[in-house]
Amino acid sequence: MEPLEELGDPQLAVLIGRFEERALAEVYRRHGRSVYGLARRVLGDPTEAEDVTQEAFLHLWRDPSRFDPVRGTMRTYLLTHVHGRAVDVVRSRAARARREERDARATAAASYDIEREIWDMALAERVEGALGALPADERAAIDLAYFGGHTYKEVAELLCAPEGTVKSRIRSGLRRMRSALVEGGVPG
């Protein structure tokens, strides 16, 4: 069998279905930093971020059939899962008060995928550009909902805007971003 590094994520999911720990480790190597990075950004607290990151990978281990590559990439699957769990934590534990931005760690503590890291940097630039090009009200709604862990109804209160308007802003902003990213060559 070819090296795990050469396999696509869907193939790794098949191996995880066969209890291949090495396959889960490879998925972690590829996506662990992104999953943790999102959890950390939403939660602020590194311990809580590691907890939900751990839970996301164990979720994949328990039931890899939940990952459907036709519906999205492995990274999207993991980020969607970890974001949902992180938001749950924010809402259920009233963790907002504890959240605060802290300096990112300067050094990598474990092996990681340098190829993906560089790719991610290029992607991040495009995403930042697309996000920055959005109208300010759409950007604010997305930011408060996604990174703030607020529901759209809470966002509406924060922005003193009707709930329906906020719903529309979030959707139109995401659609606008998708168009910009696809035009920029990022798979949509």
Q: Which residue of 93, 98, 118, 129 would you call a contact of another protein, by CB under 8 A? A: 118
Contact residue for another protein among 43, 44, 87, 140 (CB under 8 A): 87
d(CA 2, CA 113) in angstroms, rounded, equals 18
- The Cα diameter of the chain in Å comes to 58
- Residue placing its CB nearer to another protein in the complex, 46 or 95: 46
Taking residue 125's Cβ as centre, other Cβ atoms within 10 Å add up to 11
Instruction: State in angstroms the smallest separation of the CB of 175 from another protein.
Output: 7
Site for another protein in 13-72 (CB under 8 A): 13-14, 17-19, 21-22, 24-26, 28-29, 32-34, 36-38, 40-42, 46, 49-50, 53-55, 57-59, 61-72
Contacts of 181 (CB under 8 A, 6+ apart): 126, 127, 130, 188
Q: Which of 43, 48, 85, 140 binds another protein (CB under 8 A)?
A: 85
Binding mask 135-154 for another protein (x = CB under 8 A): -------x--xxx-xxxxx-
* CA distances in angstroms from 57 to 96, 120, 134, 150, 157, listed in the order given: 24, 20, 33, 24, 35
